[in-house]
Structure 1
Amino acid sequence: MSSIIVFLLGITWVQAQSPHGPSFEVDCGACHNSNGWDINIDTFQYNHDTLSFRLEGIHLVTDCKECHASLVFDQAPSDCASCHNDIHNMTVGNDCVRCHTPQSWLVDNIPELHEENGFPLIGIHGNLSCVDCHISETNQRFDRLGNDCINCHMQDYLNTTAPNHQEIGYSAENCMDCHDLFSSAWEDAVIRHFFFPLTLGHNTQECQECHLTAKYSDTSPECVSCHLTDFNNTTEPDHQAGFFPMDCTLCHTTDPGWMPAGFPDHDNEFFPIYSGKHKGEWDSCIDCHTNSNDFSSFSCIDCHAHNNQSKVNNQHDEVNNFVYQSSACYSCHPTGEAD
């Protein structure tokens, strides 16, 4: 009986003295043999899948001792930071698996990570290197920069002189009003000219054609602020001599350009030429306004078959105070109708 007790105590003592700790319940013969304790690492196999830490990717070819610093194997930590130094200095947190996988330490989900943080890498931002935005001595810190344009582009805003963003008072928070992420460069600003539509004849992408100074807000929307020289130099008809109004929109439109000019309110304000008897009976203003220096004067007689004064006088024998002149024609026929 005593011999049995001694035998059992001996077994307990051997197990207690296992260099791998009491929780490593593996038959010694699985790794060692009677020839010695050394293990041939090239032929050694151990099913790590039975544990809470599976060996995948790069971990499959990692030397055991790089993780198991002692022979008590269950003392090896399972969190990344215990083996891997945080080269990012906590700027991206300590959840390494958000960016890295065992297959490769290289990050291949950068667009998804930025989208999670509310800053999708679209347009020109998709072509940038990480260090273009995340600047540090090691190029490994990725401090949160903020999602507003000005967080990165304040210096661009301050240095811009054409136009001078500060002097004009452009918002430093609404860069997207003018700049398009999908443009090839920031210089290719998109002109959202909602207050003065840049369409047809005004369709220009060169700001300096209208904005002659760096302070864009001092440009008047009035036609003559840009077209006064055109107004003064026009002789057919002579705008100055004819006392034409400086509201260019009365005659000109931007469709397709400044020419041909017309007077769409002519029918209501003066005489129907776009409707009634005279519609399509004229080619240009000077058909009726024979004096290009004075568009307040007009001629009915030169256009109609009424140039025979005697014949016209006879036709108006019964009309009191009839006078053979264009103004008289208009007085009696303000709509161009015979009666």
Structure 2
Amino acid sequence: MDPSNTPSSTRRIAHPKAFAGLLVALLVACGLQLRGPDGPRQGWWDERGPVVPHDTFPADCSLCHVGKGWSTIRADFQFDHLAETGVELDGAHDGAQCLRCHNDRGPVQWYAAKGCSGCHQDPHLGRLGATCTECHDTFDWFPSGILADHQSTRFPLEGAHLATACASCHPAAEAGQFTGVSTRCESCHLEDALGAQSFDHVASGNLTSCEQCHQPTQWGGGTFVHNFFPLTGGHALSDCSACHTGGVFSGLSTNCFSCHADDFTGTDDPDHVAAGFSTSCDECHNIQSWEGAAFNHAFFPLTAGHSISDCSACHGSGTFAGLSTDCFSCHASDYAGAMDPNHVTAGFSTACDECHNTSTWEGANVDHSFFPLTAGHNLASCTACHSPGTFMGLSSDCFSCHASDYTGASDPNHVTAGFSTSCEECHNTSDWGDANIDHSFFPLTAGHNLSSCTACHSPGTFTGLSSDCFSCHASDYTGANDPNHIAAGYPTTCQACHNTSDWDDAVFNHDFPIKTGAHKNFSCTQCHTNPATYAVFSCIDCHEHNAVDTQKKHKPDEVPGYSYNSAACYSCHPNGKGD
């Protein structure tokens, strides 16, 4: 077994000082011979001692060697480099021969302390720093992470630059030499700019600042950032020379008229020159299409009836500036020719928009808020009220129009009744016949809710009437016989017993109970024996008392002032129970 090819991670010896024995084994295994006085010979040492000192190695050589010679290493030889030395061997170091580090150069610690440069010569001559691990690792010498590191430089690699060999920009890269180079595109791509055919970079003076048009993904198909004048709509042209004639690219005006003067002067619908239109083309035109201009007519909105596709319909003479926005300036003939109603004779205002709108000239809607045209006043023809064509100075008083209705009314006769000419006190605009007088001074409820006014107001007398019941119901009072109101001496304040719902359903406040007890349902004449007057009543006629028996029950010492008569009975027995 060759120890130089044995992975150090598996090499292990049990003796605490096995490291010295390992070095001996390495010398023998690598064919290193010790020299004696007569020349090379295999042995433990010569006058100079072994190549690698074994002073600290174990005295038991069999820990590493077998046989009589020292060139054979034990088959079960193992050495854990990390555990025994504290240094881990990984990557390419794990498979390296031991003598690559452990040789006669001196103690390993001397040159290991220098880091990578202790063993590896720096091909970069110190230009990239002393920390080799920033680009290299222990697995192979080929650099790793160089592209990622390049992204933090002043020239990040992207697009086609990612696949470009380092030596293309850094000529000495193959020798490990990386020197600073220019980041200007033209430093590498000047020949591309000089040889471009689709766009003459020389004539246009565009040999530098390549990044304005080109991307690092590909050199062909350059795209210029034209954001100072967006190439959209009709300006989205594939050929730069369509606007940049003669190869002129700088100093051109962004004003529309600078390119479209011929369009301006050649337009005849409408004639821009004759109309004196502004040369600020973008006031009407857009970049999508030169045709179909849309003029900002906000100072006079072109809506509804004014939404006309032909400008000459209003601007017939080709005059576009200085025209009045007053309706009458265009519609004077409509005003003069109107017959229903005749605007001239009526003296209507020439401010057409007071009644008309832009949707249709017909069907004007006058602002009649000073006299609302609701219900019965909502007439289709103005002449129904404004006859013969008089519109100004008319009174808004109902009687001014309805005098004939007032004088012709017969149920009731308004004239003889002396009714007020303020028609709205009783009538409304919905129905002239459905009058509703405010009778709140004498509520017309229940029996008074009569359909005909003459039922009470006869013969047509409406003013000066009394609200006293007896003034209308005297005949009812004198004709009543059950009981006889006159004989009974009832008051003429009818409402004391009667109500407006039913005249016959009277309710008399009888102090003596006649609705309950023994007197319930008695006829008035049973107690009031004198039909000529109800002020007289009799108790003793019904109760069959006699003076002798009554005298016994009313002893003077018990009932002082006793007297045998009905009035005396009632004075003591008002509840009719006799107790």
Q: TM-score, normalised by structure 1?
A: 0.66
Distance change (3 Å), C-alpha of 1:193 and 1:105: same
Q: 2:538 aligns with which of 299, 306, 328?
A: 299
Aligned to 2:50: none
Superposed CA RMSD: 4.1
Aligned to 1:103: 359
1:295 is displaced (CA, Å) by 2.0
Query: What is the CA deviation profile of residues 43-94 of structure 1, one whole-angstrom value per residue up to 9, with x for unaligned ones?
Result: x966454463333222335875653452334365432112223333365533
State how 1:85-234 maps to structure 2 within 5 Å. 85-86=334-335, 87=338, 88-89=343-344, 91-107=347-363, 113-115=367-369, 117=370, 119-125=371-377, 127-131=378-382, 134-137=385-388, 142-143=391-392, 145-173=394-422, 175-181=423-429, 184-234=430-480
What letter corresponds to residue 95 of structure 1 in structure 2?
Answer: A
1:258 is displaced (CA, Å) by 1.8
Distance change (3 Å), C-alpha of 1:109 and 1:307: farther
Distance change (3 Å), C-alpha of 1:186 and 1:337: same
Distance in 2 (CA, whole Å) between partners of 1:179 and 1:20 is 65
Distance change (3 Å), C-alpha of 1:300 and 1:130: farther
State how 1:1-339 maps to structure 2 within 5 Å. 23-25=275-277, 47-50=294-297, 52-61=299-308, 67-74=314-321, 76-84=323-331, 85-86=334-335, 87=338, 88-89=343-344, 91-107=347-363, 113-115=367-369, 117=370, 119-125=371-377, 127-131=378-382, 134-137=385-388, 142-143=391-392, 145-173=394-422, 175-181=423-429, 184-254=430-500, 256-264=501-509, 266=510, 271=511, 273=513, 282-283=520-521, 286=524, 288-289=527-528, 293-301=532-540, 306-309=543-546, 311-318=549-556, 319=559, 322-333=562-573
What letter corresponds to residue 96 of structure 1 in structure 2?
Answer: C
Distance in 2 (CA, whole Å) between partners of 1:130 and 1:302 is 86
1:130 is displaced (CA, Å) by 4.6
Q: Does the CA-based 8 Å contact 2:513-2:575 persist in structure 1?
A: no
What letter corresponds to residue 216 of structure 1 in structure 2?
Answer: F
Distance in 1 (CA, whole Å) between partners of 2:359 and 2:349 is 21
Which consecutive residues of structure 1, in runs of 5 or more, have no partner in the other structure?
1-13, 28-43
1:335 is displaced (CA, Å) by 7.2
Distance change (3 Å), C-alpha of 1:148 and 1:20: farther
Query: What is the CA deviation profile of residues 253-311 of structure 1, one whole-angstrom value per residue up to 9, with x for unaligned ones?
Result: 22x322321234x5xxxx45499xx79964466264455553222233467xx334364
Query: What is the CA deviation profile of residues 232-263 of structure 1, one whole-angstrom value per residue up to 9, with x for unaligned ones?
Result: 33221122343433332232222x32232123
Distance change (3 Å), C-alpha of 1:323 and 1:94: same
Distance in 2 (CA, whole Å) between partners of 1:21 and 1:167 is 81
Distance in 1 (CA, whole Å) between partners of 2:521 and 2:364 is 70
**Which ranges of 4 or more aligned residues in structure 1 deviate by more than 6 Å?**
18-21, 335-339
Aligned to 1:38: none
1:202 is displaced (CA, Å) by 1.9
Q: Using the aligned pairs only, state the percent identity.
A: 36
Distance change (3 Å), C-alpha of 1:108 and 1:81: closer
Distance in 2 (CA, whole Å) between partners of 1:136 and 1:124 is 17
Q: TM-score, normalised by structure 2?
A: 0.42
Distance in 2 (CA, whole Å) between partners of 1:168 and 1:107 is 44
What letter corresponds to residue 261 of structure 1 in structure 2?
Answer: A
What letter corresponds to residue 361 of structure 2 in structure 1?
Answer: W
Distance change (3 Å), C-alpha of 1:136 and 1:186: closer
Distance in 2 (CA, whole Å) between partners of 1:235 and 1:299 is 20
Q: Does the CA-based 8 Å contact 1:177-1:192 persist in structure 2?
A: yes
Distance change (3 Å), C-alpha of 1:326 and 1:208: same
Distance in 2 (CA, whole Å) between partners of 1:223 and 1:240 is 16
Tell which has more relative contact order, 1 or 2 (C-alpha 8 A, sep 6+).
1
Distance in 2 (CA, whole Å) between partners of 1:171 and 1:288 is 55
What letter corresponds to residue 387 of structure 2 in structure 1?
Answer: S
Distance in 2 (CA, whole Å) between partners of 1:205 and 1:50 is 65
Q: Does the CA-based 8 Å contact 2:499-2:506 persist in structure 1?
A: yes
Q: Does the CA-based 8 Å contact 2:514-2:522 persist in structure 1?
A: no
